[in-house]
Amino acid sequence: MVLHAEAFSVFAARHGLPPLTPEDRARLDGRRNSEIFPILFGRDVAREEWQAYEEEKEGLYRELSRGRLEPMKGLLRLLAHYRAAAVPMALATSAPEPNVAHTLAEIGLATDFPIIVRGDQVARGKPAPDVFIAAGHRLGVEAGDCLVFEDAPMGIVAAQAAGMPVVALTTSFSAAHFAALQPPPSATYADFDAFLDHQLS
């Protein structure tokens, strides 16, 4: 998300928009671009226009992030643990397809998620629950038996609206920020290592 913030900073400067504040990030992170750009510009944005903005901003992200991405601390361990336990996994994201492919390839996980559900494949984006509901359906797992990991407030709201327990990761927002959500997440950890250390202790 730090790299997305860098890309948004460049985008905002190009278009005469004010820099994004932490409050802006809390409202925007996790949403689809079709919903982000009308908020940023404070007006209706036609489909063709937001698609052009998306290509510009996400192109900046891919350019800025090339060679700089690495898996979140503990992610590889988490994936190996769940694979060994035959736990099915899916990736549910608001990112557009080029970003999904780029990011997974950059961190060496291009083939690790056979089930990927994107926000542009469902009727409503986060904070609506659609992307998580679709992921649960494709996994063949009841909502209450799923476990969602999220680092964005809008994603936590969406997961809870889907009826799924959610673990918040404090990589972008503080534990205090997540604790103030109503309802708060099921649990909060610094990263995947902290989650696994607690679960396996």
pLDDT band at 30 (very low <50, low <70, confident <90, very high): confident
User: Does 80 lie in the same domain as 144?
Assistant: yes
- Does residue 18 sit within a domain? yes
Residue 193 lies in a domain: yes
**79, 170: one domain:** yes
Number of residues assigned to the chain: 201
Quick one: how far is CA 79 from the chain centroid? 17
Give the whole-angstrom CA distance, residue 87 versus residue 69: 26
Where is the domain boundary, 65, 86, 108? 65
The 3-state DSSP class for residue 150 equals strand
CATH number where 164 lies: 3.40.50.1000
Task: Write the CATH number for 37.
Answer: 1.10.150.240
* Residue 55 sits in the same domain as residue 124: no
Summarised one tens digit per residue, pLDDT across range 77-118 is 999 999 999 999 999 999 999 999 999 999 999 999 999 999
Q: Dig out the tokens for 113 from the structure.
A: 């998620």
What pLDDT digit, counting tens, does each position of 147-176 carry? Answer: 999 999 999 999 999 999 999 999 999 999
| Integer CA distances (angstroms), 107 to 7, 57, 94, 101, 122, in order | 19, 21, 18, 10, 26
- Residue 51 located in a structural domain: yes
pLDDT band at 128 (very low <50, low <70, confident <90, very high): very high
Angle between helices 153-161 and 130-139 in degrees, nearest 10: 60
Looking at the structure, do residues 117 and 180 belong to the same domain, yes or no? yes
Range of the domain at 55: 2-65
Looking at the structure of the chain, the number of domains it has is 2
Whole-structure pTM value: 0.89
57-84 residue pLDDT tens = 999 999 999 999 999 999 999 999 999 9
The token duo for 144 is 């209450």
Tell me, yes or no, whether 194 and 104 share the same domain. Answer: yes
Task: Indicate whether 50 and 127 sit together in one domain.
Answer: no
The reply to whether 181 and 124 lie within a common domain is: yes
Tell whether the torsion through CA atoms of 138, 141, 142 and 143 is positive or negative: negative
Whether 70 is covered by a domain: the verdict is: no
Q: Which pLDDT does position 58 carry in this prediction?
A: 95
